[in-house]
Amino acid sequence: MKNKKNIQILTGAIIILLLLSLGAFFVNKKDTAGFTLTSLDGKITKQADLNALSFPQLSTKVAKDEAEIELITTDGNIDIKLFPKLAPMAVKNILTLAKQNYYDNNQFFRVMSGFMIQTGDPSNTGTGSKVISTVNNGKPFATEISNQLYNIRGAVSLANAGTADSSAAQFFINQNNQDATGQLTKYLYPDLIKKAYENGGNPNLDSGYTVFGQVVSGIDVVDKIASGAVTANSQGEKSTPTSPVTIKSVSILKDYNFSK
């Protein structure tokens, strides 16, 4: 009887410990989802506050405080709206270089289907870039992080050298068209952006690269470019197009006055 009683006591203690552990699990899960994780800039910790922001990428309409360009490529046109209020250095540099015909005859020199397509280097090697004199004194500049902009499908972002102060003229268009919500574990994300990531994108790039634009027309052209045949580059990455698509010119459909 004594052994049976001891067994009952031990069993009861184990059950209590399991319940306590389970309770702690759910408390921690709640903390992680609601409080521990932060927004991209680390300043927002509450879901409601993040959800209250506006997300200009989710609209195809070009707003009053936005700009618009069109990439005229050998495979078709890509219409992109730009966000000068949220990424001023990136947009000012891009618009000014476009006016100087800097992007004319640039190839999409790095193409990775299911990921992105990259351009913005006149040498078409990935080693060249440029910053205008009125942006950071003509030097590569810091990543511009906004809680309103993300690397969803069709987002246009500046490439960099892997460091925070290396953004310039090269940019890429996020092409992945597969559900990416399984990657939303590093930051607190707005509900509308979570929904957008169901259509694709690359959340693993968030906070590491300046998002400055969004494709509003021509995503089919982006997909077509991404589907082209590629070969390995000098680092072994299969991303060099065998028949590169070229930007013939860039049309500025809506400019922006940075002096106002």
* Pair 106, 121: CB distance under 8 Å: yes
Map residue 112 onto helix, strand or coil. strand
Q: Give, in words, the CATH class of 49-254.
A: mainly beta
* Pair 95, 256: CB distance under 8 Å: yes
Whole-number pLDDT of residue 164: 84
Average pLDDT, the chain: 90
Whole-number pLDDT of residue 30: 41
List beta partners, residue 26: none
Confidence at 237, pLDDT banded by 50, 70, 90:
very high
Q: Which segment of 6-10, 68-72, 84-88 scores lowest on mean pLDDT? A: 6-10
| Placement of tokens 């092409």 in the chain | 175
CA distances from 8 to 3, 18, 59, 120 (A): 9, 15, 63, 72
Confidence at 225, pLDDT banded by 50, 70, 90:
very high
Q: What is the pTM of this model?
A: 0.87
**Amino acid code (one letter) for 16:** I
Confidence at 3, pLDDT banded by 50, 70, 90:
low
Residue boundaries of the structural domains of the chain: 2-36, 49-254
pLDDT for residue 35 is more than 90: no
Q: Which segment of 10-14, 44-48, 92-96, 157-161 scores lowest on mean pLDDT? A: 10-14
Confidence at 12, pLDDT banded by 50, 70, 90:
low
**What's phi and psi for 18, nearest 5 deg?**
-65, -40
Residue 82 CA to residue 69 CA, distance in Å, equals 8
| CB neighbourhood size of 127 (10 A) | 9
* Pair 226, 175: CB distance under 8 Å: yes
